[in-house]
Structure 1
Amino acid sequence: MTAALLLVALLATSWFARKRLRLDFGSGRSRAYLTVAVRQVVGFALPALVMLALAGEWRALSEMPASFAALAVSFGIEGWVTPGDGWILSIGALAGTVIGSGLAWLRWRRKRKRGPIFGELGWLLPRDRADLAWGVVLSLTAGVTEELFFRLALPLLATLATGSALAGLLLAAILFAGAHWYQGWSGVVATGVMGLVFALLYLASGTLWFAIAAHIVVDLNALVIRPALTGAWRRA
């Protein structure tokens, strides 16, 4: 059963990465953004929940699996991030992102050069205020759905199948990076690194919500803060 569920998880990743999970709500940028958001839910969140249910691992939604907890202990990072520390880190990261992105982009704009960014977002990059609102929606959707899938369901199934939590988390990080191939190689590498960071945050805090919060902050930077600072906010 576990091997079959893991195969389903791998197929879900492949469908999303290759855009085979076809959903189309019509033309227009708003409808395109809606399509992406729904694909995130259908392609990642729903499979994750179904697989956790079929594997009898519902408790993993609220309690870190024993295999992951043991890995955190072996790494010596168990309890590094407490609930109070986690929220402080999340708020601090968001504030730092806003300030840092603003200073960096203002400097690059004065030099009439493009600011540093890892990966190409293509049409997803917001162009006006309406797009920025969708950027918020996509950031929240991706943070929740992708962490449920790539930091919980997929690595847990891989752990049950292989007996190694480390192998499960590494496999999930690699597939997480591969699912972002549309951003180019720089985006794939950066996403892979961030996937490992999110996994470490999960292990260090013992709760998936801090990994979700970190993921949302990263996406808000790319899909809302930077575009707003470079002109999208001025266009209605």
Structure 2
Amino acid sequence: MSFSAPSLLLAAPLTAYLAFVSPWLGRRQYDRLARRRDHAPRALVHAYRLWIAEEWVWVAVAALILVLSPGVRPADLGFATPTNLSQIAPAVAGMTGAIVIGTVLLHRLARSGRAVPGQAAVAELMPRTSAERWHGLGMAVTAGVCEEIVYRGLLIALGVGALGLSTTAAAALALAVFVAGHWYQGWKGMAVVALLGFWLTIVYLATGSLLPPIVMHVLIDVRGLVCLPAPPRGTVGQAV
């Protein structure tokens, strides 16, 4: 694949933003949300709207990069029918089952008043009202679609087509940027994100399609942002 000069002029600032600005800005925004949440009833709704809009802007830029590069096919960015599904079907089915079972168990744990493992890192993102829950659903779907297109599809393609890296090296670099984007969750949260991101990357590379990782990413975030009750107020602060 060959990216054109105009497309690289767009790709360079987007990549720099994702790698350096987004982690720093996300941490500041999360800390600000934590300070305002209890006395500003719509603070979380406004934050979700901002993040949803931002991530769709990323996708719009990625689409423009693709349009400006005749030497790059949509399939190079993962817009293709999945292949080798039979090989990864057991892993995908197992992961889906684990998500469903884990959601039920964690929901019961939360209802009992006990702390849900890992939830403290993203406590301020947990919806408390129906309006927040609907926006949380929108955020989960947006993150699943947009982050897979940009972090998995675009960045891996840029690593291979623009930097001349091997697919493995490009995927590792893209994963590092993806994990950095979750800096607001702290090191423990980032470790979990790294494991999930690694698994989603394997699924993408095995199938050549973004569709399976998008579906799994959405399910993971719906579980974290919609299906689990919010922790009690006063606890310390998951979209992957």
The CA deviation at 1:95 is: 5.7
Please, which of 16, 19, 25 is the counterpart of residue 25 of structure 2? 19
Does the CA-based 8 Å contact 1:48-1:154 persist in structure 2? no
The residue that corresponds to 2:156 in the other structure is: 155
- 1:33 aligns to 2:33 (yes or no): no
Percent identical residues: 26
User: What TM-score do the two structures reach when normalised by structure 1?
Assistant: 0.75
Runs of 5+ consecutive residues of structure 2 not aligned to the other structure: 30-39, 234-240
Aligned length: 209
The residue that corresponds to 2:194 in the other structure is: 192
1:100-127 Cα offsets, whole Å, 9 max, x none, are 22223424654x4301126712422111
CA distance in 1, matches of 2:120, 2:170: 25
Give the 4+ runs in structure 1 shifted more than 3 A: 1-6, 82-86, 92-96, 107-110
CA distance in 1, matches of 2:120, 2:12: 28
1:92-107 mapped onto 2 (5 Å cutoff)? 93-94=95-96, 96-107=98-109
User: Cα RMSD (Å) of the superposition?
Assistant: 3.3
1:107-159 Cα offsets, whole Å, 9 max, x none, are 4654x430112671242211122211111100100011000001111111011
Change (3 A) 1:135 1:170: same
- 1:59 aligns to 2:74 (yes or no): yes
Partner SS, residue 115 of structure 1: coil
1:12-31 Cα offsets, whole Å, 9 max, x none, are 303322329x9xxxx72322
Partner SS, residue 25 of structure 2: coil
Runs of 5+ consecutive residues of structure 1 not aligned to the other structure: 70-77
The residue that corresponds to 1:179 in the other structure is: 181
Does the CA-based 8 Å contact 2:107-2:227 persist in structure 1? no
Change (3 A) 1:84 1:184: closer
CA distance in 2, matches of 1:102, 1:134: 22
The CA deviation at 1:177 is: 0.2
The residue that corresponds to 2:225 in the other structure is: 223
CA distance in 2, matches of 1:107, 1:121: 17
The residue that corresponds to 1:74 in the other structure is: none
The residue that corresponds to 1:46 in the other structure is: 60
Change (3 A) 1:131 1:94: farther
CA distance in 1, matches of 2:129, 2:123: 15
Give the AA of the match of 1:11. Answer: A
The residue that corresponds to 1:72 in the other structure is: none
- 1:126 aligns to 2:142 (yes or no): no
Change (3 A) 1:30 1:192: same
Give the AA of the match of 1:202. Answer: Y
Partner SS, residue 117 of structure 2: coil
1:168-211 Cα offsets, whole Å, 9 max, x none, are 10000000000010011111111122111111111222211001
Change (3 A) 1:8 1:105: same
Give the AA of the match of 1:153. Answer: L
Q: Bigger shift: 141-150 or 203-212?
A: 203-212
Does the CA-based 8 Å contact 1:155-1:172 persist in structure 2? yes
User: What TM-score do the two structures reach when normalised by structure 2?
Assistant: 0.74
The residue that corresponds to 2:36 in the other structure is: none
